[in-house]
Every structure is written in structure tokens, then in C-alpha cells.
Amino acid sequence: GAVVSQHPSRVICKSGTSVKIECRSLDFQATTMFWYRQFPKQSLMLMATSNEGSKATYEQGVEKDKFLINHASLTLSTLTVTSAHPEDSSFYICSARRVHEQYFGPGTRLTVT
Amino acid sequence: AQTVTQSQPEMSVQEAETVTLSCTYDTSESDYYLFWYKQPPSRQMILVIRQEAYKQQNATENRFSVNFQKAAKSFSLKISDSQLGDAAMYFCAYRSAGAGGTSYGKLTFGQGTILTVHP
């Protein structure tokens, strides 16, 4: 149990367009999900905490209007990168909290051309 | 704010040998959790081991064990009988045990250590 999926696994988009990444907890309900960004050979950087039914809590330095987070149900959180630019190219990972543990999705590789 | 430091960017070990990965952390809290995660080339984060700060006994999971020194704020991971499949990036992480709040369960990660296993 405790499986988290992400879709898509890879996405290429053109500069200026928006792209949506979905994070789903498949076999449990998650009131809290987390979104991370990771550059090659670097650590995970927490972008925001997504709480079902309320506004996301963004970490310092993360642009709220650029990285839109919606946690509309207990099993789904979405991250929308708006007006994407090449510097937004990265690996995005979500996790879902179940009791005391976080379970991670497989990640989404975003490339902005 | 809590910080987690992994001072070894890269480590290597021979297959079947033992290797220890270091982690130190800084916190003013008395109750918390510490984790080691493994991230193989697939980039899927995998929980290796978890330690509750209130427990004096060091956690073990098969070939993986930790040396938790609460006073020194040190949390090292020992991998025994290393296998080729252990090659990955390893992250040490901290989580407060405090309940509630919009960021409940938030993890603070160290910089990571890339482990290479030589056959």
C-alpha cells in the first residue's frame, strides 16, 4: 500500500506555455501533499505544502503566481507551472503524507524549450 | 529552523564491504524523527530507515543500521555487505514531531551523498 503516482513522467513544453503535473495517492487519502524541485545531483528543495481544501503554503522564494497548486480532493494535488521558461526545467517530485510518513511519487521531468 | 548537513558529497565502497554515511543536524526541538532515503538512478525516493528521537535504541533494517547520537546531533547510516543495488544518492532528512499546522510532516533534507559500489 501507500502508492503515489505522478503524471506525466516527462513533459516538454514551449517557453511561455503552462504545464500541469498531477500527483495522486492511489490507495490512501492524503490531507497533505508536498511539492519538491530537484536539480541534477542536488537535494530536494521543498516548494510548497498542499493542504486539501485550503490554500497551499509556499516556501520562501517560491513564486505563488508561477507555481499554482490545487489540492481539490483527498487523493489529488496538481502543480501548474505558468508561463514556463527554460530555467523552470527541472525534476519535480510530489509526496503525500499518510500518518507519520511521506510517500513519494516517481517524479516528473519538465523540459522547457 | 532546522538544518541537515551531509558532509560527504561522494563515497565509494567495494561490494560486500561496509560503508558509513555521515549526517549531522541542528535543532532546538527535543522530539523529532530522522530518516535516510535512497534515490537510485530511477529517481524514485525510497525510505531506508527511520529513527524516533525519543528512542535510545538505534534503528536497524536488515543490512542498514544507524548510529544515532542525540547529544551530538549526529545520525550516520551504516550499510553492511554492500551490494551493487545499493548504489544511489542517499539523503538524510529531519522531521519535527510536532502535530498540526499547515506544514505538518514537512521534511528537511541534507545535501545528499552519492554512493558508488564497486564490484
Average pLDDT of adjacent 10-residue blocks, chain A of 113 residues: 94 97 95 94 94 89 95 93 97 92 95 97
Question: Are B66 and B58 spatial neighbours (Cβ–Cβ below 8 Å)?
Answer: yes
φ/ψ of residue B37, rounded to 5 = -115, 150
pLDDT reported for residue B97:
83
| Residue B91 touches chain A, beta carbons under 8 Å | yes
Answer with the residue of higher pLDDT: A55 or B87: B87
| Angstrom distances, CA of residue B19 to CA of B12, B35, B49, B50, B73 | 8, 17, 16, 18, 20
pLDDT higher than threshold 90 for residue B103: no
- pLDDT of A25 reads 96
Find out whether A93 and A44 touch, Cβ atoms under 8 Å: yes
Q: Please report the beta strands in A14-100, taking only residues with DSSP state E, as ranges in sequence order.
A: 19-25, 32-38, 44-51, 57-58, 67-73, 76-81, 90-98
Residues, chain A: 113
pLDDT tens-digit map of B30-75: 899 999 999 999 999 999 999 999 998 999 999 999 999 999 999 9
| Grid cell listed for B87 | 548504489
Q: Write down the mean pLDDT value for chain B.
A: 94
Per-residue pLDDT averaged across B16-42, rounded? 96
Element holding B87 (H helix, E strand) = none
* pLDDT bracket for residue B99 (50, 70, 90): low
| pLDDT over 70 percentage in chain B | 95
The pLDDT value recorded for residue B37 is 97
Residue A84 has what pLDDT? 97
- Using a CB-CB distance cutoff of 8 angstroms, which residues of chain B are in contact with residue A57? 102-103
Residue from the list B105, B108, B109 with its beta carbon closest to the beta carbon of A97: B105
**Is A84 in a helix, a strand, or coil?**
coil
Identify from A3, A6, A37, A43 which residue to disrupt to test chain B contact, counting B C-beta atoms within 10 A and taking the largest count: A43
| Binary contact (B43, A102; C-beta < 8 A) | no
Q: Does B102 lie at the interface with A, CB-CB under 8 angstroms? A: yes
